[in-house]
Amino acid sequence: MNVKQLDLSRRTIALAAALIGTVSLVIGAHAALNMRAIDAAKAVSTDQITGSIGQTSRLALVIGNGHYPDASAPLTQSINDARALSSSLRKNGFDVDMVEDATKDDMVRAVGRLKSRIKRDTVVMLFFGGYGVQAGRESYMLPVDAVIWKESDVRRQGVSIDGVIDMMKEQGAKAKLVVVDASRRNPYERRFRSYSHGLAPISASDNALILSSASPGKVVDDGKGEHSVLVSEFLNNLSAKGSAESVFNKTRVAISRASEGDQVPTVSSSLLEDVHFGEAGG
């Protein structure tokens, strides 16, 4: 082998070695990037899992309507009830959106805010204190700016309780708790040719618990206390904590006994699991 051939062989070997080194670096870098991507994916997956375990959110929409222009006097208890209940629910871990003397727009916006925040693991509570009217076998919460002259006005100007419950269900709420203190003799009843007193039965859709201040079709008079009879008893039982179903049923029994059967609240339940006040995660 002459000198030129030897020099060429050395160059060929050097080039081959350099090429092999480059390929190795590329393979190593690619492997490192893959490992980083896998690690990152694991981290995201872990964050998502740990963020969803044991973190049941609790939301409440509390509406207290007291100043209706067509009423002879304001419903002062409704405002007091909404404030006291909001305070108690916050102590029990609920994120409360409270609205006082809500117009139709106020109520629609409040329901929209609630809808946007409901997730699959959310326990949701709705409270309404004020005037309620049934129309077409459905119960409606009336805003303070409602102008009611006939039954069709109720459907147009009111907010359907069943509609709000259906929204909670469609959003996938874990459980739905509803307290309606609206079985009052309202100022619009004489304007209807055919009028149905009180509220219609409120259906407890899947995994729901509903408490209404009187039996369907019945009306109750407000007492002279700071709070309505329903909310007074409900707050008493809520402070003792326990399961939601127990709180609702104890409230119903206490009011029925105290009124000697004149006022019998309605409790309707389709709960599939225990929901507790004052305990995280249920």
Domain carrying residue 184: 56-268
Confidence of residue 178 (pLDDT cuts 50, 70, 90): very high
Residue 273 is predicted with a pLDDT of: 83
Contact 127, 110 (CB under 8 A): no
Quick: pLDDT tens for 107-141.
Answer: 999 999 999 999 988 999 999 999 999 988 899 99
Q: Burial, 64: exposed, middle or buried (Cβ in 10 Å; 0-12, 13-18, 19+)? A: buried
Query: Looking up tokens 């707050």, which residue turns up?
Result: 235
Query: Looking up tokens 């899992």, which residue turns up?
Result: 49
Residue 76 in domain: yes
Quick: pLDDT tens for 57-79.
Answer: 999 999 999 999 999 899 999 99
Residue 214: count other Cβ atoms within 10 Å of its Cβ. 23
- Mean predicted confidence (pLDDT) in 77-87: 97
Q: How far is CA 164 from CA 60, 86, 110, 124, in A?
A: 12, 19, 11, 11
At 36, which amino acid appears? R
- Mean predicted confidence (pLDDT) in 103-108: 98
Contact 251, 277 (CB under 8 A): no
DSSP β-ladder status, 276-277 and 242-243: antiparallel
DSSP code of 266? E
DSSP β-ladder status, 123-129 and 175-181: parallel
Residue 37 in domain: no
Confidence of residue 11 (pLDDT cuts 50, 70, 90): low
Give backbone dihedrals phi and psi of 271, rounded to 5 degrees, phi first.
-60, 135
Residue 13 in domain: no
Q: Which CATH number do you get for residue 94?
A: 3.40.50.1460
CA distance 114 to 170: 13
Q: Has residue 83 got a pLDDT over 80? A: yes
Residue 88 in domain: yes
- Mean predicted confidence (pLDDT) in 79-93: 96
Residue 38 in domain: no
For residue 186, which of 80, 265, 71, 64 has the smallest C-alpha distance?
71
Quick: pLDDT tens for 12-35.
Answer: 545 545 544 544 444 454 444 344
Residue 175 is predicted with a pLDDT of: 95
Residue 195 is predicted with a pLDDT of: 57
> Between residues 223 and 161, which one has the greater pLDDT?
161
Structure tokens at 280: 């995280």
Q: Which residues pair with 210 in a beta bridge?
A: 178, 268
Residue 5 in domain: no
Residue 25 in domain: no
- Mean predicted confidence (pLDDT) in 211-223: 88
Residue 35 is predicted with a pLDDT of: 44
DSSP code of 156? H
Q: What is the mean pLDDT of the chain?
A: 82
Residue 204 is predicted with a pLDDT of: 81
Residues 6+ apart with CB under 8 A from 164: 111, 126
DSSP code of 189? G
Residue 13 is predicted with a pLDDT of: 47
Residue 56 is predicted with a pLDDT of: 61
Residue 67 in domain: yes
Q: Domain count for the chain, please give it.
A: 1
